[in-house]
Amino acid sequence: GATGEETSKEVERVLKPFLQRKITTVKNIAMEGVKISRVYPKSLRIFGGMQGAISFIEKSEPYTDAKITLATSDDEKFEAKVGEISQNDFIPRLWAGRRVDYLLGQIQKNGERKEWVDEIISLSKKFTFITPYTAFLAAPRAVLRPRVIQPSDPKLIIDAPGAVRVVAELPWGEQIVAKKNAKTGFWEARFLVPQNVKDGEYQCNLIITDKNGAQWQQKQKFVIDTKPPEIKADIKPKKIHPGEVAILKVYAPQDTRTILAKTPDGKTIELHYDSKLAASTAKWSIPDIPAGKYKIRFVATDFAGNQTETESEIEIVK
């Protein structure tokens, strides 16, 4: 057989030409007269002289002589004509595969959502490829709700259609037989969080049994969260007249579920997230109340049910 030195030289001979090639990153893709979306992969890195594939959705069908332009991280541009659509009939399946990979990544990071699972199943059936959700289509699947829980309210709610028995194995060794709620149709498992368990993401194993006695195991992630969200509130303008409109603004972390403002006239206003401002906002029409300084109380609740409050002052002048 070959010696270690001979093997090393052979590996170097094969790989060195590739490693010495320039790496190019595609940072933008555009098509003449057509809006595109859902581009996969988000960033394509390839060695010079090698091929790569980017797939995306077009809002309308382009002309065959329309130009498609790629821009790289080195400020280089490459152009080509679209060509006949019939010559590229493999692309929809390529895009579907990339879309499924993206959705599976989102589920791995954020937990299952029904719309993501439904789309994965729909695409895999249409283009006939296997995914974790279609390899065993007969298996009863489960969705864990809520994904974020509070130790003071330790209950897992499990949506497992078709199941006759659900057992939850928790990461600290406890095993619980879930009970089905006749009103909601969901399975519920109550438990106690040990004192030594810290905040963070954990994984439980669900053992699901169907009416025929078949069993499946499925892992689901959940988050233990005991810390209330830290928020910062602001009101603009600080001085205002009755009949005018004040802008209420709250900066809060991503795991904040709701933010409510309690105004001096007894109203409760819900704030909604504004991506442009990177904050949750609402408008308050100033009522005809006596002039003076008032405090507005803001209450924020996260997905685990933790709450925090803060106040901000506004002065009404006449």
What pLDDT, on the 0 to 100 scale, is given for residue 194?
Answer: 76
pLDDT digits (tens, 9 = 90+) for 73-123: 777 776 777 665 555 566 777 788 888 888 888 887 887 788 888 888 888
What pLDDT, on the 0 to 100 scale, is given for residue 135?
Answer: 43
pLDDT digits (tens, 9 = 90+) for 203-249: 888 888 888 787 888 888 777 777 788 999 999 999 999 999 999 99
- Provide mean pLDDT across the span 52-69: 61
Domain positions in the chain are 18-88, 93-127, 143-224, 232-316
What pLDDT, on the 0 to 100 scale, is given for residue 243?
Answer: 94
Q: Which of 304, 194, 211, 185 is nearest to 255 (CA)?
A: 304
Average pLDDT of the residues of the chain: 77
- Asked if residues 96 and 125 have their Cβ atoms less than 8 Å apart, the reply is no
CATH of 232-316, one of 3.20.10.10, 2.60.40.10, 3.40.309.10, 3.50.50.60: 2.60.40.10
The answer to whether the 143-224 and 232-316 domains have the same CATH topology is yes
What pLDDT, on the 0 to 100 scale, is given for residue 227?
Answer: 79
Instruction: Give me the architecture of the 143-224 domain, per CATH.
Output: Sandwich (2.60)
> Does residue 311 or residue 28 have the better pLDDT?
311
pTM: 0.43
What phi and psi, each to the nearest 5 degrees, are found at residue 60?
Answer: -150, 160
Q: In this model, does residue 139 exceed pLDDT 50?
A: no
Residue found by looking up tokens 């029904």 in the block = 114
What pLDDT, on the 0 to 100 scale, is given for residue 192?
Answer: 73
Which H helix or E strand runs over 105? helix 91-110
- Provide mean pLDDT across the span 161-176: 87
Burial 89-102 (b: 16+ CB within 10 A, else e): eeeeeebbbbbbee
